[in-house]
């Protein structure tokens, strides 16, 4: 039976290995076979295969991407992670938008659900898309049009 503390540690290791070191194999191990992402990128399904594809795509979109964890809250089978994601929009970071070559720095909040074996079964996450689009010059600031 995995504890909230163990699940939180898994999330920290996931951010470090998958996002910061590019070790996708850790995601393959951590996600359960019946994993469901409730907030997949546009056009993607929410299953495990699609999630692994998304992690690979992120490495392409912003190869210098890093995620720094700012807060972790774990209780029962849930873990929430607040982080700051930084990188350079090298190959098109915002779906449907051209690559800008500009840097971005935005906050993210993700909530993960774990099963009794400590595997990640569900995910819901939101990042500050408007801030990213404003930083990349893809959207005017509120009030500015």
Partner 1 sequence: MMGDVERNVGAVRRLEEAYAARDYDTVRTVIAPGFTPHTPGSEMMPAGVEGCIAANEGGFSFFPDKRVEITDLFGDGDRTVAHMRMTGTNTGAGVDWAGLNEPTGKAIDLDWIQIARHDDEGRIVETWAQMDSPKMLVQLGAMPAPEGM
Chain residues binding partner 1 by CB under 8 A are 4, 39, 42-44, 71, 73-76, 78, 80, 82, 95-96, 107-109, 111, 124-131, 139, 142-143, 145
Q: Taking the complex as a whole, how short is the minimal distance between the CB of residue 92 and partner 1, in angstroms?
A: 12
23 vs 115, which CB is nearer to partner 1? 115
30 vs 72, which CB is nearer to partner 1? 72
Q: Taking the complex as a whole, how short is the minimal distance between the CB of residue 23 and partner 1, in angstroms?
A: 26
28 vs 128, which CB is nearer to partner 1? 128
Q: Taking the complex as a whole, how short is the minimal distance between the CB of residue 48 and partner 1, in angstroms?
A: 19
DSSP string, the chain: ---HHHHHHHHHHHIIIIIIS--THHHHHHEEEEEEESSPPTT--SSHHHHHHHHHHHHHH-TT-EEEEEEEEEETTEEEEEEEEEEE-SS--STTS-----EEEEEEEEEEEE-TTS-EEEEEEEE-HHHHHHHTTSSPPTT--
Q: Taking the complex as a whole, how short is the minimal distance between the CB of residue 46 and partner 1, in angstroms?
A: 13
Who's near 21: CB < 8 A, 6+ residues apart? Answer: none
22 vs 125, which CB is nearer to partner 1? 125
Interatomic CA distance for residues 6 and 84, integer angstroms: 22
88 vs 113, which CB is nearer to partner 1? 113
Q: Taking the complex as a whole, how short is the minimal distance between the CB of residue 128 and partner 1, in angstroms?
A: 5
């Amino acid at each position: 039976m995995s504890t909230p503390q163990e699940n939180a540690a898994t999330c920290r290791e996931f951010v470090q290995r998958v996002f910061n070191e590019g070790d996708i194999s850790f995601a393959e191990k951590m996600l359960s076979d019946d994993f469901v992402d409730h907030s997949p990128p546009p056009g993607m399904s929410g299953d495990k295969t699609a999630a692994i594809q998304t992690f690979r795509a992120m490495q392409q979109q912003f190869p210098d991407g890093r995620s720094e964890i700012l807060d972790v809250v774990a209780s029962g089978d849930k873990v929430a992670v607040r982080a700051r994601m930084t990188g350079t929009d090298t190959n098109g970071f915002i779906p449907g938008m051209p690559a800008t070559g500009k840097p971005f720095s935005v906050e993210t909040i993700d909530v993960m659900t774990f099963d009794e074996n400590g595997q990640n079964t569900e995910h819901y996450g939101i990042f500050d898309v408007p801030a990213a689009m404003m930083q990349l010059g893809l959207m005017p600031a509120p009030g500015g049009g």
